[in-house]
Amino acid sequence: MFPLKDDILSQHFPVVNLWLIIVNVLCFVYQLSLGSKLEAFIVAHGFVPARFAAEYAGNAMSLGSYVPIFSAMFLHGGLLHVFSNLWMLWIFGNNVEDRMGHGRYLLFYLLCGVAAAFAQFWANPQAQSPMIGASGAISGVLGAYVFLFPRARILTFIPIFILFYLVEIPAYFFIGVWFLLQFMQGAAQQAAAGRLVEGGVAWWAHVGGFVAGVMLLYFFKRDGKKTGQVWL
Res 40: pLDDT: 95
How many Å separate Cα 138 from the centre of its chain? 3
In this structure, of 92-96, 169-173, 198-202, the range with the lowest mean pLDDT score is: 198-202
**How far apart (Å, rounded) are the C-alpha atoms in residues 29 and 23?**
10
From 115, 89, 104, 122, select the one nearest 17 (Cα to Cα).
89
Task: Estimate the crossing angle of helix 15-33 against helix 79-100, to 10 degrees.
Answer: 160
Which segments within the chain are labelled E, that is strand? 2-6, 153-160, 163-170
Q: State the Cα torsion 137-52-198-201 to the nearest 10°.
A: 0
For residue 177, CA distances in Å to 2, 118, 142, 170 come to 12, 23, 12, 11
Computed over every residue of the chain, the mean pLDDT equals 89
**How far apart (Å, rounded) are the C-alpha atoms in residues 80 and 86?**
10
Domains identified in the chain and CATH numbers: 2-220 (1.20.1540.10)
Res 87: pLDDT: 97
How many Å separate Cα 104 from the centre of its chain? 16
Edge-to-edge strand list for the sheet holding 2-6:
2-6, 153-160, 163-170
**How far apart (Å, rounded) are the C-alpha atoms in residues 83 and 80?**
5
Q: Average pLDDT in the 15-38 region?
A: 96
Q: Quick: pLDDT tens for 133-163.
A: 999 999 999 999 999 999 999 999 988 877 7
